[in-house]
Amino acid sequence: MSQEQPQRPGASQEPIKYGDVFNVTGELASKPIGPKDAAAMQSAENKILGETPKGGAAAAMQSAAIANERAGVVSHNQADVAGDQGVAVIKSDADGDVMITEAVAGQIVGQYRQPDVSAVTTPAMLVDPGSITIGEALEAAAISAADKPIDQSDAAAIQAAEMRATGSSEITPGGIASEAQSAATRNARTQRFEDQATLSDVLSDATAMLPKDKAVTREDAERVVAAEVRNNPGMSTTPGGVGAAMAAAAKRNQNSTI
């Protein structure tokens, strides 16, 4: 016969439930988030995505589970969902992008999309001289998403792109990454949309501003897309933005060698 887990003496607060964190309904919404459930989601993300994304379902569940365990409202081995109906992380195609769907007990707790760069396999040394460079890809983003105000996700993507172009682990003083970060910081403090700096403002001369440049490879695109997604609360890339432009350039470069 099953019994409720005893609470620690003095534990009186309500546990953080799935309904408090995710847009779920029914019995799941009233279940507390436990450590084993969070660990199961982390394992699923690592298996399918190769990492535990910042701001993803596993990160949210881990935070809630830690708080619940510290408050004494769940036990360390408690698994209200993972042991029964389970968790799932699914990758699927969506109009040329990859759709990531995360679910608990059959209910979606997270869904976002990112450009698909998985088909790109060309090493940097095999890219021909006519291939698209990182600077050119950034300039393409300045056209396709010209009026988008720069935020932290854009700044992170631009920083990753600059580092891939220069081969340095540090940003270039006065370069596009530095300018993008400054623009993102200013935009966060600027209320009027028309006064905010855009991708076009920062990236229109990206090729000239990069001290070094190189043809875009799959690895370059993956790093930039990952940086943009990690720093976007919606866990997605901007259509036509930096990550999307890099992914498109990597695919074009791959096709040019076939």
The string of pLDDT tens digits covering residues 170-202 is 888 889 999 999 999 999 999 898 899 999 999
pLDDT tens for each residue of 50-72: 887 777 888 888 888 888 888 88
Q: Is the pLDDT of residue 9 over 70?
A: no
Give the mean model confidence (pLDDT) for residues 216-228. 91
CA dihedral 191, 228, 185, 140 (to 10 degrees): -80
Confidence of residue 123 (pLDDT cuts 50, 70, 90): very low
Please, where are the H alpha helices in the chain? 18-21, 26-29, 35-49, 57-71, 134-144, 152-166, 176-188, 199-203, 206-209, 218-230, 242-256
Per-domain residue ranges of the chain: 18-88, 124-256
* pTM value surpassing 0.85: no
Per the CB < 8 A criterion, the answer to whether 229 and 222 are in contact is no
Tell the residue number behind the tokens 């990160």, with chain if given.
59
